[in-house]
Chains A and B, each alone.
Chain A
Amino acid sequence: MEKNEMIEKMVTILADEFEVETSEITADAPIKETLHLDSLSLVDMVGLVDEEFGVTIQNSEIATIRTFGDLYEFVYTRLA
């Protein structure tokens, strides 16, 4: 999967699941604030990434993923 294709798919599924506009999901935007995630819904985002891309984010890795750009990079490097 090309990186642009992965980003497009990621934006679509996140916007759909968390009911935000796709335009709000930009590389620099903070994930938690943009998707209005709390401790219960954060696990949904991690589960979605696992189900849609087959990429598992470990407990110890979640703190390093702050923006959508961080998430794209994390997923893409594990898909490659």
Chain B
Amino acid sequence: MSYTTTDIEQLIPQRAPIVMLDTFSRIDEKNYASELTIREDNIFCVGDKFAEVGIIEHIAQTAAAYTGYKHLVEADSVKLGYIGDVKNCRFTVYPSKGDTLHTTIRIVSEINDITLITAETKVADQLVATCKMKLATDESK
């Protein structure tokens, strides 16, 4: 299963210019991957570099795409999600315009409407960021 730019909006509520995913794919039940190529006009670029907040947004959208995918598979509608918590964030390098972010997330646990993930973002083999993130899904929407 793989989603690309044209159909990724099935999984997340964001729309251009806020969409920070080019692709999203399932590796296995607990691991998912995404990519984003940083273009000239990306709103999270500061000078030639991609800011931390953009990396966080990219990771959050990867996690949101997972919950969207899960609901689609369960033949449910895509729910609204919120970031509940971000911790143990480590940034090791600022990506540059033209770089492609490769992110993998691991689903650590899911209880009720809360999902805990760990994320790792790389550019080629260079580690860019790691973090833990909690997402809450609004089941009423």
Interface size counted on chain B using CB atoms at 8 A? 13
Interface size counted on chain A using CB atoms at 8 A? 13
Of B13-21, B58-66, B107-115, the one contacting chain A is: B107-115
- In the assembly, what is the distance between CA of A40 and CA of B132, in Å? 13
Contact of A27 with B by CB under 8 A: no
Contact A51 B84 (CB under 8 A): no
Residue among A47, A56, A59 with the highest chain B CB neighbour number at 10 A: A47
List chain B residues, Cβ under 8 A from A42: 111-112, 114
- List 15 contacting pairs A-B, 8 Å CB cutoff, sorted by A: A39-B112, A39-B114, A40-B134, A40-B136, A42-B111, A43-B109, A43-B110, A43-B111, A43-B134, A44-B116, A56-B109, A57-B109, A57-B111, A59-B110, A59-B112
